[in-house]
């Protein structure tokens, strides 16, 4: 079979869907490489800052690693702004949705909420509430997200910070995204992202 015969999903056969599943599984083996390519594409973005978005992402991951974060959180820090090009108003949720099947719940929760938590640093300049994050004060991941933003994300716009290349982080990205999606032993605790 080279392609399915159906033109409406409801008309697909058992054989056709198993054929498609095989093709999807093979395609998904290249996910890590597609993520690395997308990260590389961030090099031409983030006008006005002293670093581009790729440098910011690399620096955020480097700070996470230097602070003793585990590989899941380091990769999360690396991809945290991956959605800025395609989802500028919900980039946090975009990044969280990419990594969620491969990491424990607190990593995806932090990525999902980091944009809101970042408002702490600048929302007041636009008449916004810098303490909007306080609605999550009783959440088990609240302090982790505060720390992610304070120690790694908001501090990573320094052109003089010693920052590894994307190639340095590539093996970590490949290990995380080679995991079986939604494996219970990886996800451990799931948190509502609302």
pLDDT, tens only, 70-122 = 999 999 999 999 999 899 999 999 999 999 999 999 999 999 999 999 999 99
Predicted pLDDT of residue 85? 87
Q: Where are the domains positioned within the chain?
A: 12-187
Report the SS3 class of residue 82.
Answer: helix
CB 81, CB 95: distance < 8 Å: yes
pLDDT, tens only, 29-64 = 999 999 999 999 999 877 899 999 999 999 999 999
CATH code of the domain occupying 12-187: 1.10.3210.10
CB burial string 168-187: b at 16+ within 10 A, e below: ebbebbeebbeeeeeeeebb
pLDDT, tens only, 114-156 = 999 999 999 999 999 999 999 999 999 999 999 999 999 999 9
């Amino acid at each position: 079979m080279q392609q399915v015969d159906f033109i409406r999903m409801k008309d697909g056969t058992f054989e056709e869907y198993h054929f498609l599943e095989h093709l999807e599984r093979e395609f998904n083996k290249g996910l890590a490489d597609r993520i690395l390519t997308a990260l590389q594409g961030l090099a031409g973005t983030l006008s006005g800052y002293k670093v581009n978005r790729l440098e910011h992402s690399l620096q955020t991951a480097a700070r996470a690693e230097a602070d003793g974060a585990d590989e899941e959180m380091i990769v999360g820090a690396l991809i945290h702004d991956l959605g800025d090009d395609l989802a500028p108003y919900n980039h946090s949720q975009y990044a969280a949705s990419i990594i969620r099947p491969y990491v424990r719940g607190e990593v995806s929760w932090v990525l999902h909420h980091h944009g809101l938590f970042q408002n702490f640093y600048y929302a007041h300049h636009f008449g916004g509430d810098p303490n909007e994050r306080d609605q999550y004060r009783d959440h088990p991941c609240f302090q982790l997200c505060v720390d992610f933003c304070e120690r790694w994300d908001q501090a990573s716009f320094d052109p003089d910070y010693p920052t590894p290349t994307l190639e340095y982080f590539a093996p970590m990205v490949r290990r995380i995204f080679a995991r079986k999606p939604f494996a219970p032993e990886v996800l451990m605790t799931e948190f509502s992202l609302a």
